[in-house]
Amino acid sequence: MKKRFSIPALTLVGVIYFCAGCTASSTSTSSVHSAQHSAQQNANLDVPFFENRPVAEVTITPDIADAVYATYADEALKLDIYLPRGIEQRGVIAYFFGGGWQSGSKKTIKKFVLAQLQRGYAIAAIDYSLSDKAHWPVQGQQAKAAIRWLRANAGTHNLAADRIIAMGNSAGGHMAGFLSMAGATGNIEFIESGNKQYSEQVQGFVGWYGVYDLTEMLSRNEPFNPTSPEVKLLGCGQSPSDCAAKARSASPTTYATSTAPPVYLLHGTADGMVPFSQSRQLAARLQQLQVPVTLELNPGYQHGDPRYDDAPARRGFESFIDNLTSAKAKGAP
């Protein structure tokens, strides 16, 4: 069963939803219409239709492969671009993979993200340095550089660069969340990039079971474990006392302001790796700032639950991104 929390009364309506700055109709009725519209178009697309197919069978060759968006320590940072076919492009998804910041690559794209190709979204799958190669804040600066590159090369690769939605799961949710919250803060002196004149701001953020407050995650790391994913990302394994400040600087919640883009968070209540309090805390902070935010808590879902791939589990966030990109295409700020 799904439940929805709406503001301000926190009324239960039916997935646990917590929604600030939006209405029930914008996340229910419109999502049904969107799903029906997409189903009618799928038959005409030269793109694999993902329903009822095992995740292992979902493989697609990128339209632009291994594009170098920046360099770090003589390492070429690359991304792949997948373009929708036979349908007008709605927007661009900037996707960051999960893997505890220590495994994975741009090739490991979740099925629920790939499914957006057939709905008209281009996908930029972005590689970033793993924690055995670099420590924070390098990864955050790389995320910013990737968005700048997409905008600088939008004309060349036919990308709707004014409609970029950051997405990520687990550690990738942290990356996309930092990018979305930090916006135009900071700089990119940690990497070499020639696109500093372009904005790194995105128009929306969707995160699945992400890490948004590393301070809380470290508090669960007792006794201190220098090999935990968070400690390895921060590079503070030899100096535990230094972890607190680094954890705060790496937390998306630290950078949340009233100028943050609209956000949609999904998290399973049975997640044993990243507690759903991570998403709940970010949602509460954004609510305080009056930023449009929806928190979808999925009862019984575990970390990386395969049910997120199912069409019914996609409808909420799909309606969310459709509404965002449609408003932007019509000239809304």
Query: Which sign does the torsion angle of CA 271, 283, 316, 15 carry?
Result: positive
Tell me what percent of the chain is helix, strand and coil, each rounded to the nearest 5: 35, 20, 45
| 145-154, 219-228, 241-250, 314-323: segment of lowest average pLDDT | 219-228
When pLDDT is cut at 50, 70 and 90, the band that residue 35 belongs to is very low
Question: Does residue 276 lie in a domain region?
Answer: yes
Pairing of strands 91-96, 121-126: parallel
Q: Is 233 a domain residue?
A: no
The mean pLDDT of 135-145, rounded to a whole number, is 95
Instruction: Look at residue 228 and tell me if it is in a domain.
Output: no
Q: Residue 59 belongs to a domain with what CATH number? A: 3.40.50.1820
The boundaries of the domain holding residue 15 are: 5-213+251-329
Examine residue 223 and state whether it is found in any structural domain, yes or no. no
CA angle 110-146-318, nearest 5°?
Answer: 40
Structural domain total, the chain: 1
Q: Is residue 164 part of a domain?
A: yes
- Quick check: is 34 in a domain? yes
Reply yes or no on whether the pLDDT at 113 is more than 80.
Answer: yes
Number of Cβ within 10 Å of residue 52's Cβ equals 7
> Of the ranges 9-23, 33-47, 102-116, 132-146, which one carries the lowest mean pLDDT score?
33-47
**Higher confidence at residue 41 or residue 221?**
221
Task: Give me the pLDDT at residue 187, please.
Answer: 65
Is residue 107 a part of any domain in this protein? yes
Q: Are strands 16-20 and 293-298 parallel, antiparallel or unpaired?
A: antiparallel
Per-residue pLDDT at 221: 75
CA gap 321, 95 in Å, rounded: 14
Q: Residue 151 has which token pair?
A: 């905008």
- Determine the Cα–Cα distance for residues 129 and 97; give it in Å rounded to an integer: 12
* pLDDT score of 300 more than 90: yes
322 found inside a domain? yes
Q: How confident is the model at residue 21 (pLDDT cuts 50, 70, 90)?
A: low
Output the average pLDDT for the chain.
84
Q: Between 45 and 100, where is the model more confident?
A: 100
